[in-house]
Every structure is written in structure tokens, then in C-alpha cells.
């Protein structure tokens, strides 16, 4: 048991999913040929001026609402001045004293326990570009495509005390941001990024220790690992009678260790001051009401609806909602086939199973929720058998196509062919006289054996119900 | 055709009546430029080829009767206003070879009118200065006395109009940079209300104070120019949505009953006696036309210079950070990017620019922000309040444009503070976002022009144009001797 108690605060940057950048009309899409998505404004040419994209303001207000923040009625932008080759104006337009959102809270659930994380503030700023280092030719090149992509920075209070809590919080806000349509939260593309401030103090102490800031964290796994190793590092320092130095540290995932980037002494003086190019904005109650009412259904509301109105198990509802792509797919399916329970069962039982095995890529799905719904409907109405349904789904995943076309092409329909059924079952009973005798003498258990044999022989060409009835009838004779 | 101090409206008539073609007209100006600009050095770039091409297009419009007030009118443009495909240097080594891939909004508007670009005029480097002697390329001289400064920072534009190298020019004014050179060069220049003219494409010095405006032969031409360039611009969030009137509307109307305030601080002992006498005489002339002179006070004037230099330098320090040698402009040497940026900026900027960047960064530094920048913003509010109070009593304010007439080149080189103090009459107009016009009200015994400024309420350019015009109608200006 450690003698120390860690305290952690997060600064999370999320890129907004607006079509255009925050201060010009360039596309804000990820990637692209270097410097193909920039203009005189976002590449900082002399004389150009920023014009605020009101859509970005709308998005950050939504973020504020989904994280239960106070929305400032008066908000303004400041310049954060520093030199770096990926920052063409040599200042970042950000917000210092008057951010759009203040004082929020987010509920998280860690191992069954509920906890509230306080949000200090959320502000709107512009992203910087990217440097590409060519080690062979020993040159660095700047790509400004990302310059001016709208970014929100969500700053928490130091309310976390373990890596698990941090991960639970990040998972929660990513879901919220995705469901509200604010950010796609693709950590691997950097559309959501996280800096971790971390300190430890002896248990029972009322004071916080000296903190370090961890940067360069690209996945939830890396974040959890980085927190663990940094806590260990700080504990070791204190155990050896040394001091933690306030500094920024980079996490090296390959080596599983954090290394110093710069100390407090090298910290920039950003010389913040109000940006004279962007007038402050005043938000009216009408505007805010309109924005608030345009927020789509959030994860918790969806779970509640599935449980209360659709009769789905809470556990399954949580599972579906935990992945927005799956959940949207599910929504589409139940629009097409009004049997939410059956669809939910097939989504959690079959689709998610295959997704977890890596067979299904939700970003590159070859069929729609509507087509999936058709498959479930065929299954529910005894038009195809369980095993053939699985085969059809496999085909849909591999090559696409509708369940009907696949069943037609491969002849996978259940046929109410009583002759074939009678002939097959009669043969099975004739070949297993001992088992038939057992059943007739009251041993119901062997019934399953006959069902299995018949299913196997009929290859899904008869419905389970018809098989069952015929076997019962035959064995009772 | 004699184009000495020709008015835009007369050139318009000459062009429309086919007395002269657009190409011939700009040819006349190039003749003057070729004869005299070697001495005056008002241009950094002369765009003769481009001008002839533009003149031909303008001529087609004139021939087809599709004429706007500036169709075929040759103009000079200050070299901090971006012109697509034409070097825009800000008179700095930093941007010596910078060719913008876009036009400033004002250039787009002039293009729509079918103007003809004569060239880009010299200025103090990045518009920082009042003498045009910090220009890295053309240290402009005063056409009235080549040993004297033309004022600045729009000294090239003012000298070009003064010497009849152009009938009118665009300048920019952050603390007097249109009005003071207009006054030194004996022409008329107006700084519109902040927000009247789009700043898009004007290389920023101090964003909250910068404003583009025209320098012309007289107030009437200024009104014509304002009609062409004032409008709300979606590319400039600080550009105003106030309706834009016809600026010529009140010209010629009597000033009878107009209340003209003369704040006593602007007539102190710091102002040259000859300058004071000419401005007071002009006031009497207006009084004789029925205007009422009102005594008043703007005590905050004593804080104007520190407040102005803190705000302007702080914004400039940030605005000029983008010149880092990475993307465009002058590039120094260095093994790391820190070294490269340091070397580029050390060598690319001149001394005055570096001085202001240091001053501005100092004022914004943590620990000093409250003492300097924040206090300067408070003073700005105080100055605005005092102007509002004066405008409760008066319609316009009349002041000298500069404490002295044009001084000898080199006279203020070693004393930046003295140079800053010379802006005392003009900076508060920018701080309070007001419109101000400077016109010539007399000549010193040595024959140097003296300028007076008429300052108006926000967005009331019409009244200051009316007042300046009323005086001009009584005054016969003397153009400098032909060069």
C-alpha cells in the first residue's frame, strides 16, 4: 500500500467538427495534402484579419451545456504570444479571462461508484499547424492545414485520484462530445488530446505536492500507463528524500517512462492581451435557448429510453450506447423494424461479438442498419434459421448486399417442405431406436439430441418450430 | 493639361469629356514622377506598365459610359496596403520582396471603380514614425523644402500629392500618420472614424487604432475618395455596420451656427507660435462665417502620449511577431529555429521598429501588464469620456495638426521621446476612434505649410468635411515649386 495520495487535473483539447476553420473559411477536415487547406488568413499573411466562425461558438456553448457549465453572456478572445514555426502568426487566438464556459461538472462511474468531476472552464481557441521532420535531409517542414481548426480546451479541477478515474472521465466526455455532435473524438488523429497535471502528497496531508504536467499522450492506454509510471516516479523521489520539480514531461510509450521536456524556469511568458481584431461577443438568452434546444439526445437519455420504452436490459443498453457508431446503427435498425429487443439482442450478441473479434469495422460497414433489421426480422419470423442468419451476416460483412438477395442467391430460406422434413426425421428416429425408446419412456432430455440431429441434417431448410412439432408427433406415436 | 494640384473632380470632367484619355492622364503623372521623384523619393515602387494596362481598361469603361467617380483616376497607395501581385514592403527590409497574393479590401473597392495605380509610396517602416526617415528604401523629402521631412508615416503619399505626382493617395493613420504628413506637405488628409474603412489587407501596426484614409488636394476630393472606400467588410470584424452616407452631401453648406471647440491644452506653450497663430486665424475666419467658437478643456491630453505608445506598441509587438523568417520575408541564419527567428528579426527590422517591439513586449509582460497596458486602457476610457463631454458642447474640435511645421531631416533622430511627443495633437483622435481631417491653414515665414485639424463625433465625417471645406473655400493654397 502506497503512503501517498495522487491528485490529478486534466486539460483536454477537442477539435470541433465544424466544416470550416474558426477564423477563416478554409475546410477544417483532418489531413489533406500539406498546405492545401490554408489561405492568407490562417497562414498568417500580413494584413489579413480573423473573422469568428459563429458555428464554433455554438459548438462550444453546446459543450458547456452537456458538461453542465455556466455560459458567459459576455465573452472575448485574447492573444497568446509565442514563437514556434507551426504557429504562423506567432500568437494563438485563445481566451484568457472571459472563456465561454465556466464551472461545470461531469458525472463518472468508476467500478460501480459514481463520482462528480468539476470543470473549471472551457474556452475556444485555434489549433496550430504541424511540423514534419525529415531526418534524412535534416530539414523540418511546416504543414498549416490544421492551423485555425477550432479547438476547445476543457480544464478540470484537480478532482482525480487514480488513472481509472481519468480514463472513466475521458470516456464519458468523449461520448458526450460525440453524441452532441461537437467532436468526433478520434484520439489517433489528434482530434482529442489530453495533458495531465499530476502531484502526490502523503496520505492524510491537506496540501498538494509539486505537480508535473504530462504531454504527448495519444491513447487512453497511454494516459493510464503514463499516470501510473509518473506516480511511481514521484513516489520514488519522495521516498529517497528528493523533491519533485515542477516541469513538463513527455511520455515515451515505447520505453514506458516519462522524461523532462522543460522546467518552470523555461516557461513562456505568453503576454496575453485582448485581441483587438475580434470584438467581444454578447450572447442573448434567445440565442442560448436555441442552441440548448438543438442539442441532440445524450447518452444517458438514450440508455433511459431503451430501458424504459424498449424494454431492453440496462446492461445491453449501456453496451449499445457506449459506442456512438453502434448506437446510431441500432437507431436506424429499429426505425426499419420495430422490435427493439430482438434487434438489441442481435446487435449485442452477434454484431458486437464480431466487432470485438475484429471482423467488423464500423467505419467501413458495407451494409446499413435497415438491412441488418431485415435480417433480424427474417430470423424472428422464422424465414431463416439461426445458423443461416449468421452465414448471411458474414456475407453482408464481407461483401455487402441485402439479406434477401443473399438468401435468394444461396437458397437459405426455410422451406415448409413437409415431405423433406418427414423423410429426414423419420430416418433419424429409425437410426436411433434406443434414444427414441428412452424418450418414450419419459426421458425428455433426449429430445434435444433429436432436435440437434434434425437441424444439422436439414441445414436450416425447416423452421425450428416445424421440426419440433414433427419430432414430438413422431415420438408420441 | 496642367495637372498641378489637379482635383479629382476636374480630372473626372476632363476624362468624361474626352479632353484627355486615361492613359494620357497617367502619363502626365509619370512625367512629373520621372522629373521630380528622384529628389522627393515618395515612391518605393512605380507601377508604370500596370498603370497603362489599368488605364486602358478604364478608358474602355469611359468610352462605354460605365463610369464611376474614380474610373481612370490615377492614385498612389501607401506601401503597407496589400496589392495582389505587386510588392508591398511596409518600407522594411523584412518585406523587401513580399508580393501579396491578395488585395486589401480598399484596393478591391478602388478596382471596382476602375482606378489606375501609379505606385506604392514610401512610409516609416511599418508605419512607425512621423518623418518617413525610417523607411528602408525611400527616405522621402518635403516638396516645399527638400531638406525637411514630409512627416509620416504616410510621408510618401502626402509628398506625392503635394508634388503633383498623384492627384490623391491612400495613407494609413494610427496616431496621426495621415494628418501630420498632410499638414507638413500642405495637402488635405482625413482619418475616418475607426471602423469606417476595412483594415483587411492593411499590414497591421496597432489594430485598435489603424485606419486607412485618403490624402488629397482638398476636402472635396477626400469626400469623393471616402465614398469609394467606406463600407462594412465581412473580412474585418472591426469594420462598422453604420450606414455610409454620401460624404459630399454637406460640402458647401454654411458653417453658420456650427459650434467649434478649441480645447486649451492644444494651444499650450508646447505649440509653435507661428502654428498657433495660423490655426487661431483660421478659427476667426470660420467665426466670421457664423461659426461659434467654444472654449473647453481635455485635461487627459497630458496622458495621451504614454497611453498611446503603450497601446500601440503592445499591439505592434504582437502584430509584428509573424515576421519570423519562417514563411515569407527576410530570412536570417541559424542552426535552430530559435536562432533563425532571432537572426531574421534582428536583421530584418530597423531600430525604431525594434524599439517599439521591445517597449510593447515589456508592457505586456507578466507582472507589468497591470501597471502599463491595463492603465493605458483606463486612460483611453478617460480620454473618450472627455471627448464625449466636449461634443456635448460643440459639433467639431479645432486643433493644430502638429506642434511645429516640417522640421529638418535629422533634427529628431537622436531623441525618440521628443519624436513621440510631437504626436501630441493627433493621437487622441485615434485613441477615441474619432474622425479627423487636416487641411492647410497658412504658411510660415519660410513658406512651410501649417495644418489645422478638425475633429468630429464618431461617424460624423460629413461635418468635419463641411468645416474643412468651408475654410478651404476662403484659402488659396500654394503648391511647391515644380521639381
Looking only at the bridges linking them, the beta strands covering B449-456 and A4-15 are unpaired
B230 compared with B370, residue with greater pLDDT: B230
State how far residue B364 is from chain A, nearest Cα, in angstroms: 5
What is the residue-wise DSSP string for B325-372?
SSSSS-----SSHHHHHHHHHHHHS-HHHHHHHHHHHHHHSTTTTIII
Chain A CB within 8 Å of residue B200 CB? yes
The DSSP bridge partners found for residue A134 are A139
More confident: A476 or B168:
B168
Task: Please count the CA atoms within 13 angstroms of the CA of B41 that sit on its side-chain side.
Answer: 19
Q: Is the Cβ–Cβ distance between B183 and B402 less than 8 Å? A: yes
Contact yes or no for A343/A337 (Cβ under 8 A): yes
pLDDT band, residue A425 (cuts 50/70/90): confident
pLDDT at B277: 96
Give the pLDDT mean for B178-205: 98
pLDDT band of A265, cuts 50, 70, 90: low
Rg (CA), chain B: 21
Mean pLDDT value of segment A166-193: 92
Considering only A173-177, A404-408, B223-227, B462-466, which range has the smallest mean pLDDT?
A404-408
Q: Which of A316-330, B52-66, B80-94 has the lowest mean pLDDT?
A: A316-330
pLDDT reading at B63 higher than 90: yes
Among A139-153, A301-315, A433-447, B425-439, the least confident range: A433-447
Mean pLDDT confidence for A83-109: 94
Task: Please compute the mean of the pLDDT values over residues A236-245 and round it to a whole number.
Answer: 87
Would you say residue A460 has pLDDT above 70? no
Peptide bond into B153 cis (omega under 30): yes
Question: With 70 as the cut, is the pLDDT of residue B469 above it?
Answer: yes
Chain B: give the shortest CA distance to residue A48, in Å: 5
pTM (two decimals) = 0.89
Q: Which residue has the higher pLDDT, B125 or A360?
A: B125
Indicate the pairing of strand A91-94 with strand A78-81.
antiparallel
For B86-99, write each residue's pLDDT tens digit: 999 999 999 999 99
pLDDT tens for each residue of B378-398: 999 999 999 999 999 999 999
Mean pLDDT of the A276-282 span? 95
CB pairs under 8 A between A and B: 104
pLDDT exceeds cutoff 90 at A349: no
Overall average pLDDT of the B154-176 stretch: 98
Which of A53, A88, A273, A280 is most worth mutating to test chain B (most B CB atoms within 10 A of its CB)?
Answer: A273
Q: What are the tens digits of pLDDT across the range B431-458?
A: 999 999 999 999 999 999 999 999 999 9
- Chain B residues with CB under 8 Å of A279 CB are 237-238
Q: Quote the minimal CA–CA distance from B194 to chain A in Å.
A: 12
Segment among A322-331, B146-155, B356-365, B473-482 with least mean pLDDT: A322-331
HSE value, Cβ hemisphere, 13 Å, CA-based, for B136: 21
pLDDT at position A413 is 76
Rounded to an integer, the average pLDDT of A81-87 is 93
Say if residue A264's pLDDT is above 80.
no
Residue with cell 517591439: B357
Q: What mean pLDDT comes out for the span A424-432?
A: 74
Q: Do A40 and B101 touch (CB under 8 A)?
A: yes
- Rounded mean pLDDT of A30-46? 93
- The average confidence (pLDDT) of chain B is 96
Mean pLDDT across the stretch A429-437?
A: 72
Mean pLDDT over A146-163 rounds to 95
pLDDT of residue A252: 84
So which residues of B are the catalytic ones?
78, 153, 177
> Cβ B321–A90 below 8 Å, yes or no?
yes
**What DSSP letter does each residue of A245-280 carry, written as one string?**
--EEEEEETTTTEEEEEEEGGG------EE-TTS--
Pick the closest to residue A278 from B193, B209, B238 (CA basis). B238
Residue range B215-230, pLDDT digits in tens:
999 999 999 999 999 9
Give the Cβ contact number of residue A271 at 10 Å: 25
Please name the residues in contact with B45: beta carbons below 8 A apart, sequence gap of 6 or more: B79, B86, B87, B89, B119, B120
Interchain proximity B318–A48, CB inside 8 Å: no
Does the structure show a pLDDT above 70 at A184?
yes
**pLDDT at A424 (0 to 100):** 75
Residue of A nearest to B82 (CA): A47
Phi, psi at residue A150, to the nearest 5°? Answer: -70, 140
- Average pLDDT for residues A18-43, to the nearest whole number? 93
pLDDT of residue B257: 96
Nearest to A414 by CA among A380, A450, A456, A382: A382
| DSSP three-state, residue A115 | strand
Cell 489606375 sits on residue: B116
Decide if A46 and B327 are in contact by the 8 Å CB cutoff.
no
Q: Which of helix, strand or coil describes residue B295?
A: strand
CATH fold of B1-483 reads Amidase signature (AS) enzymes (3.90.1300)
Q: Do A279 and B321 touch (CB under 8 A)?
A: no
Angle between helices A418-431 and A446-458 (to 10 degrees): 130
Backbone phi, psi, residue A412, to 5°: -110, 10
pLDDT-based confidence at residue A58 (cuts at 50, 70, 90): very high
Question: Per-residue pLDDT for A324 more than 70?
Answer: yes
- Contact residues, chain A, for B95 at CB < 8 Å: 46
User: Which residues is B398 bridged to in the sheet?
Assistant: B454
**Cβ contact B321–A45 (<8 Å):** no
> Mind telling me how many Å the CA of B61 is from chain A's nearest CA?
30
**A111 pLDDT above the threshold of 80:** yes
Average pLDDT, chain A: 86
Amino acid at each position: 500500500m502506497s503512503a501517498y495520495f495522487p491528485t490529478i487535473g486534466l486539460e483536454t483539447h477537442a477539435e470541433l467538427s465544424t466544416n470550416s476553420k474558426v477564423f477563416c473559411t478554409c475546410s477544417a477536415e483532418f489531413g489533406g495534402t500539406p498546405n492545401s487547406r490554408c489561405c492568407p488568413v490562417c497562414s498568417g499573411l500580413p494584413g489579413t484579419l480573423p473573422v469568428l466562425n459563429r458555428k464554433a461558438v455554438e459548438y462550444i456553448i453546446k459543450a458547456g451545456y452537456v458538461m453542465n457549465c455556466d455560459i458567459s453572456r459576455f465573452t472575448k478572445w485574447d492573444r497568446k504570444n509565442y514563437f514556434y514555426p507551426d504557429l504562423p502568426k506567432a500568437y494563438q487566438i485563445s481566451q484568457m479571462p472571459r472563456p465561454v464556459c465556466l464551472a461545470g461538472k461531469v458525472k463518472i462511474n468508476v467500478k460501480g461508484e459514481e463520482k462528480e468531476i468539476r470543470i473549471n472552464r472551457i474556452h475556444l481557441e485555434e489549433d496550430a499547424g504541424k511540423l514534419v521532420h525529415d531526418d534524412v535531409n535534416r530539414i523540418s517542414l511546416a504543414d498549416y492545414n490544421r492551423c485555425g481548426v477550432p479547438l476547445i480546451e476543457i480544464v478540470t479541477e484537480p478532482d482525480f485520484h487514480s488513472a481509472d478515474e481519468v480514463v472513466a472521465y475521458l470516456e464519458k466526455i468523449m461520448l458526450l462530445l460525440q453524441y452532441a455532435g461537437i467532436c468526433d473524438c478520434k484520439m489517433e488523429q489528434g482530434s482529442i488530446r489530453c495533458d495531465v497535471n499530476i502531484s502526490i502528497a502523503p496520505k492524510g496531508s491537506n496540501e498538494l505536492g509539486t505537480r508535473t504536467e504530462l504531454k504527448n499522450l495519444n491513447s487512453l492506454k497511454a494516459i493510464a500507463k503514463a499516470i501510473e509510471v509518473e506516480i511511481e516516479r514521484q513516489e520514488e523521489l519522495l521516498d529517497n528524500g528528493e523533491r519533485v520539480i515542477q516541469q513538463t514531461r513527455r511520455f515515451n510509450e515505447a520505453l514506458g517512462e516519462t522524461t523532462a521536456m522543460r522546467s518552470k524556469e523555461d516557461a513562456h511568458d505568453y503576454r496575453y492581451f485582448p485581441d483587438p481584431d475580434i470584438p467581444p461577443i454578447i450572447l442573448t438568452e434567445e440565442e442560448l435557448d436555441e442552441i440548448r434546444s438543438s442539442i441532440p439526445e445524450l447518452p444517458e437519455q438514450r440508455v433511459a429510453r431503451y430501458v424504459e420504452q424498449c424494454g431492453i436490459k440496462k446492461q445491453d443498453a449501456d453496451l449499445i450506447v457506449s459506442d456512438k457508431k453502434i448506437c446510431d446503427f441500432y437507431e436506424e435498425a429499429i426505425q426499419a423494424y420495430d422490435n427493439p429487443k430482438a434487434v438489441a439482442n442481435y446487435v449485442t450478441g452477434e454484431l458486437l461479438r464480431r466487432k470485438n473479434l475484429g471482423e467488423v469495422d464500423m467505419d467501413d460497414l458495407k451494409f446499413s442498419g435497415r438491412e441488418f433489421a431485415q435480417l433480424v426480422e427474417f430470423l424472428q419470423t422464422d424465414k431463416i434459421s439461426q445458423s443461416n442468419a449468421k452465414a448471411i451476416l458474414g456475407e453482408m460483412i464481407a461483401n455487402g448486399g441485402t439479406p434477401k438477395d443473399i438468401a435468394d442467391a444461396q437458397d437459405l430460406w426455410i422451406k415448409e417442405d413437409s415431405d423433406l422434413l418427414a423423410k429426414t426425421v423419420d430416418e433419424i428416429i429409425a437410426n436411433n431406436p434406443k434414444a427414441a425408446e428412452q424418450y418414450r419412456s419419459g426421458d425428455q432430455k433426449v429430445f434435444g439430441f433429436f432436435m440437434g440431429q434434425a437441424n444439422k441434417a436439414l441445414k436450416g431448410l425447416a423452421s425450428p418450430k416445424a421440426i419440433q412439432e414433427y419430432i414430438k408427433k413422431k415420438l408420441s406415436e | 493639361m496642367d495637372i498641378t494640384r489637379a482635383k479629382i473632380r476636374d480630372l473626372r470632367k476632363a476624362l468624361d469629356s474626352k479632353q484627355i484619355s486615361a492613359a494620357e492622364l497617367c502619363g502626365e503623372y509619370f512625367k512629373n514622377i520621372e522629373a521630380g521623384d528622384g529628389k522627393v523619393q515618395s515612391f518605393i515602387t512605380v507601377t508604370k506598365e500596370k498603370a497603362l494596362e489599368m488605364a486602358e481598361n478604364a478608358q474602355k469603361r469611359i468610352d462605354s459610359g460605365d463610369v464611376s467617380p474614380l474610373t481612370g483616376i490615377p492614385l498612389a497607395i501607401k506601401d503597407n496596403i496589400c496589392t495582389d501581385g505587386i510588392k508591398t514592403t511596409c518600407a522594411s527590409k523584412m518585406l523587401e520582396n513580399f508580393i501579396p497574393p491578395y488585395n486589401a479590401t480598399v484596393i478591391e473597392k478602388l478596382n471596382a471603380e476602375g482606378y489606375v495605380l501609379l505606385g506604392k509610396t514610401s512610409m516609416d517602416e511599418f508605419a512607425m514614425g512621423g518623418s518617413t526617415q525610417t523607411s528602408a528604401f525611400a527616405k522621402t523629402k518635403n516638396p516645399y523644402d527638400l531638406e525637411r521631412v514630409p512627416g509620416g508615416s504616410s510621408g510618401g503619399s502626402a509628398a506625392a500629392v503635394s508634388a503633383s505626382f498623384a492627384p490623391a493617395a491612400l495613407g494609413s493613420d494610427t496616431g496621426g500618420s495621415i494628418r501630420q504628413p498632410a499638414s507638413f506637405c500642405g495637402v488635405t488628409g482625413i482619418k475616418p472614424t475607426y471602423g469606417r474603412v476595412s483594415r483587411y489587407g492593411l499590414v497591421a501596426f496597432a489594430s485598435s487604432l489603424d485606419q486607412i484614409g485618403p490624402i488629397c488636394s482638398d476636402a472635396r476630393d477626400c469626400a469623393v475618395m471616402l465614398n469609394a472606400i467606406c463600407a462594412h467588410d465581412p473580412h474585418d470584424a472591426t469594420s462598422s455596420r453604420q450606414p455610409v452616407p454620401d460624404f459630399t452631401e454637406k460640402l458647401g453648406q454654411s458653417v453658420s451656427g456650427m459650434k467649434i471647440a478649441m480645447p486649451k491644452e492644444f494651444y499650450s506653450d508646447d505649440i509653435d507660435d507661428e502654428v498657433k497663430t495660423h490655426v487661431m486665424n483660421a478659427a476667426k475666419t470660420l467665426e466670421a462665417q457664423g461659426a461659434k467658437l467654444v472654449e473647453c478643456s481635455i485635461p487627459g491630453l497630458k496622458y495621451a502620449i504614454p497611453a498611446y505608445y503603450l497601446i500601440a506598441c503592445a499591439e505592434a509587438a504582437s502584430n509584428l511577431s509573424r515576421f519570423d523568417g519562417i514563411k515569407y520575408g527576410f530570412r536570417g541564419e541559424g542552426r535552430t529555429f530559435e536562432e533563425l527567428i532571432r537572426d531574421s528579426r534582428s536583421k530584418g527590422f530597423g531600430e525604431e521598429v525594434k524599439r517599439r517591439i521591445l517597449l510593447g513586449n515589456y508592457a505586456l509582460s507578466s507582472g507589468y501588464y497591470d501597471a502599463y497596458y491595463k492603465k493605458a486602457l483606463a486612460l483611453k476610457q478617460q480620454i473618450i469620456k472627455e471627448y464625449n463631454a466636449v461634443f456635448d458642447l460643440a459639433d467639431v474640435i479645432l486643433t493644430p495638426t502638429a506642434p511645429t511645421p516640417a522640421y529638418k531631416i535629422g533634427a529628431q533622430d537622436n531623441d525618440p521621446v521628443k519624436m513621440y511627443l510631437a504626436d501630441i495633437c493627433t493621437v487622441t483622435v485615434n485613441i477615441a476612434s474619432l474622425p479627423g481631417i487636416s487641411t492647410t491653414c497658412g504658411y510660415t515665414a519660410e513658406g512651410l505649410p501649417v495644418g489645422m485639424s478638425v475633429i468630429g463625433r464618431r461617424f460624423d465625417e460629413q461635418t468635419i468635411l463641411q468645416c474643412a471645406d468651408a475654410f478651404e473655400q476662403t484659402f488659396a493654397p500654394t503648391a511647391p515649386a515644380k521639381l
